[in-house]
Structures are given as C-alpha cells and as structure tokens.
Amino acid sequence: MPKWENRCKIALSGVGYSKVTRSADVPLAAHALEAVRGAVTDSGLKLEDIDGLSTYPELPATGHAEVDGISVVSVNCMMAMLKLPNLTWHMQVGSNNIGGAVQQAVNALIAGVCKYAVVWRAMHNPKGTYQNLPGSQAVGATQFTGPFGFGGPGQHMAVAYTRYLERHNQSREKMVTLALTQRQHTQHNPHAFFYGTPLTREDYFKSRMVAYPFCLYDCDIPVQGAVAVVLTTADRARDLKPKPAYLAGYGQRLHFEVAGRIGSLADYMEGGASSAKLTWERSGFAPKDVDVAQIYDGFSASVLYGLESYGFCKQGEALDFIQGGRIGFDGELPLNTFGGSLGTGRIHGLWHIIEGALQASGRAGSRQIKNVNVSFVGASAPIVTGTTFIFTRESY
C-alpha cells in the first residue's frame, strides 16, 4: 500500500481557546469568537487572511433547543460575525464529528480552494438536566431502547463496557489509573476546566456511580467553551509564527452502524480499526512508531476501545496496558497529555487534535514529551463517527 500522495503537505498552525466555564454565562458565539481569534493570532495572521471556515455544530444534549449562537455556532453564524472579506470556502459537516470538519478543511486546502482555514468546536452546557427526557413517546430508533430506560449516551457506552469487562475478565477498578494520570496531566494545561483541581484515588473510588460501570470520574463534565485551529498548506505554514505540525495521514470510521443497535462491542472495534488502518497506511507509520497519543475520552472506556482497535495493544489488554506509568509523561506511550476531555471538560475531539499537533510541533509547554516525531490522535469514540490523525514534527 503506497503512502498518501498528500502526506505532510498540510499543516496545523495556530490554536486558540476560549474560557471554559461550567455554566453558559455568555452566548456560545462569544466563546467561539474568542477561540477563533486566538487561533488566528497564534498563527500571526489577521482575520482578513482567513478564507476557509469549517465546523461540526452539534449539541450532544437531549431535549434542548438548538439556537444558533447560543447552543451551537454554525458556519453561517461565524460568517455573519466575522464578515471575512476574502472568504472562498466554507463547510459544516453532519457526520464524522469535528474530525470530519478538520478533514474537509484539509481536503479544501489540498484542492487549492482556500489558503488558511479555521476550524472550531463550540460546546454548550444547557441549563437544567443535560439529557432532558420528558417525552411520553419513544419515536424512531429510540422505540427499542427508550422504553427500557436507555436515556443518554452514557448508558449506551456503559453496556459495551460491561460486555468488555466480563468477556475479558477485567475489573473497572483498574480505570482509576487513567483518571488519575489524566488529571495529573490536566495540571499542566491552564485552559482546562479541572486545572488546579487535583483528583485522588479515594475521590475516584468514593464517587457516585452514574451508569455502572461508569462512576462520576469516568464521564467528562459538561461545560461551555470552544477551541479552534488554523490549517494551511505546509509551505505556507513554514512562513507563519508557530512551528507547524505536519499532517502525515488521516482516516475515518468505515464500519456500518445500524441505528438503534446498542451495546455491540464489535461495532466499536471494527469502527476504530477501519479508521486507524487508513491512517497507518497513508502515513506509513505503525503503532510502534508513535511517540505520544491523544485518544478521545468523553467516557473513559472509549480510551480502551481506541487503544485496542487502533492497534496499540491486544483486545482485552488495555486496562493492563495503561498501568505501571506507561501512559504518563515519562512513559512508553504518553496518553492524553493535555488531560483529555476528563480534564478539559466536554469540548469533544478538536482539543485532542490540538494537543496532537502541539506535541508534534514541540509547543506543548510544561507537558511537552521529549523527542516527539510521530503524534497520534483518535478524535472521537471509535463507533461514533470516529476519525484518526497522525501529526509529525518532520515534514518528510
């Protein structure tokens, strides 16, 4: 299988963050603007240089109105706010999550239809219950799950996790290592919601159960915030302020998923494997080449499915793989070095992509892993519109 002809021809340049808050004190559009302006400034560009826009404007909460600028920030909303004089391309994706929006921007840059693309992800935390399920009817795919109390995504993830634990004779207590390691990493990320808030082993084991096997600290906390990136061609990126992170390859989940079918661990594994296979082939790298990895962790078990389906360890072994310091800053595979969603709050996978790029370009500050060249990202749960990326320090 030949490597991708566009390997390392696109780079991630600037990154930007809004404040991450627990409640929605200001409209989400303000968070998105702050993140986008931050990314453009980080690149040393001006807003009028930006000619491409892309996002995935979804609110994963249930039972709340989607209001543009308040609970989502669409491409249309961003265009209206910024009035970019040189805009030539825009796209908002409905599948493949925020990783798909990044991939669309990459494709647009390769096609030459824009020069500097901005991708943002803005996440709203609605007032009241996040999964607001007052309905008396179960319509569509939920008619086979809703009547039995399968309300939110947590339970959908939890059933695959019990399958995982009991088929592989594993114990959920081992997950404390992931929760504690990521919270330690969070203390090196001042933008994260849990920056300055340590977590102890006792906290983890004493926390309330949400949907067994998930306790509170297996779930990312809903927050309001946004992050953004600037993508451009490798040649242009070299002339910008920050050192570029080169995109060596990407992939997307190809596995077919039946709507309403839940709990299938095989669907996670096949989804992740299909995306990773494309990414390994295009980049020319293998799991053994990876120096640092960011793997989506909205629920902790997603990291296990990612580690196994992407090929970092064998099926059923991930809870053992993460032990013994392997995923810490000095470990064999430093993992979710920015704290993951468990540390930053629920901003979804663009932050994993940002960290993957920062590690590749040597810009990760006090959490920088030494001698990184190959930096892997799994940007959402393998089954749910999963995407994978590899960034490199070298441009090849």
Partner 1 sequence: MSDWSQVTRPVPVPNEWTRPFWEAARRGSLELQRCQSCRSFQHPPYATCVKCVSVDLQFEPVRGVGSIYAYTIMYHSGDKRFASAVPYASIIVELDDAPGALLAGNLLGVPYTEAKVGRRVEVVFEKLNDDITLPQFKLAAS
User: Quick one: which H or E segment has residue 16?
Assistant: strand 10-17
Distance CA 332, CA 198 (A): 24
Measured from the CB atom, the residue of 122 and 160 that comes closer to partner 1 is 160
Distance CA 378, CA 356 (A): 9
Backbone φ/ψ region at 311: left (φ over 0), alpha (ψ -120 to 50), beta: left
Q: How far is CA 23 from the centre of its chain?
A: 21
By CB under 8 A, is residue 204 in contact with partner 1? no
By CB under 8 A, is residue 315 in contact with partner 1? no
Measured from the CB atom, the residue of 213 and 298 that comes closer to partner 1 is 213
Least distance to partner 1, CB of residue 169, Å: 11
By CB under 8 A, is residue 129 in contact with partner 1? yes
Measured from the CB atom, the residue of 46 and 167 that comes closer to partner 1 is 167
Nearest to 364 by CA among 287, 290, 292: 292
Is residue 376 within 8 A of residue 230, CB to CB? The reply is: no
By CB under 8 A, is residue 24 in contact with partner 1? no
Measure Cα distances from 275 to 179, 379, 389 in Å: 25, 11, 9
By CB under 8 A, is residue 22 in contact with partner 1? no
Residue bearing tokens 């600290």:
217
Distance CA 311, CA 392 (A): 19
Measured from the CB atom, the residue of 33 and 175 that comes closer to partner 1 is 175
Binding mask 98-117 for partner 1 (x = CB under 8 A): --------------------
Least distance to partner 1, CB of residue 137, Å: 5
Residue count at the site for partner 1 (CB under 8 A)? Answer: 48
By CB under 8 A, is residue 144 in contact with partner 1? yes
Distance CA 116, CA 53 (A): 9
By CB under 8 A, is residue 205 in contact with partner 1? no
Distance CA 221, CA 290 (A): 29
By CB under 8 A, is residue 26 in contact with partner 1? no
Helix axes 265-283, 153-167, angle to 10 degrees: 90
Q: Which of residues 208-237 bind partner 1 (CB under 8 A)?
A: 208-213
The stretch among 22-30, 118-126, 130-138, 335-343 that binds partner 1 (CB under 8 A) is: 130-138
Strand order in the sheet with 52-55: 89-92, 52-55, 116-123, 225-233, 10-17, 245-252, 387-392, 374-378, 292-295
By CB under 8 A, is residue 171 in contact with partner 1? no
Measured from the CB atom, the residue of 111 and 259 that comes closer to partner 1 is 259
Binding mask 254-293 for partner 1 (x = CB under 8 A): --x-xxxxxxxx----------------------------
By CB under 8 A, is residue 207 in contact with partner 1? no
By CB under 8 A, is residue 137 in contact with partner 1? yes
Q: Which of residues 69-98 bind partner 1 (CB under 8 A)?
A: none
Least distance to partner 1, CB of residue 133, Å: 5
Least distance to partner 1, CB of residue 328, Å: 30
By CB under 8 A, is residue 136 in contact with partner 1? yes
Residue bearing tokens 């080169």:
246
Distance CA 187, CA 343 (A): 9
Note the residues at the interface with partner 1 (CB under 8 A). Answer: 129-131, 133-152, 154-155, 158-163, 166-167, 208-213, 256, 258-265
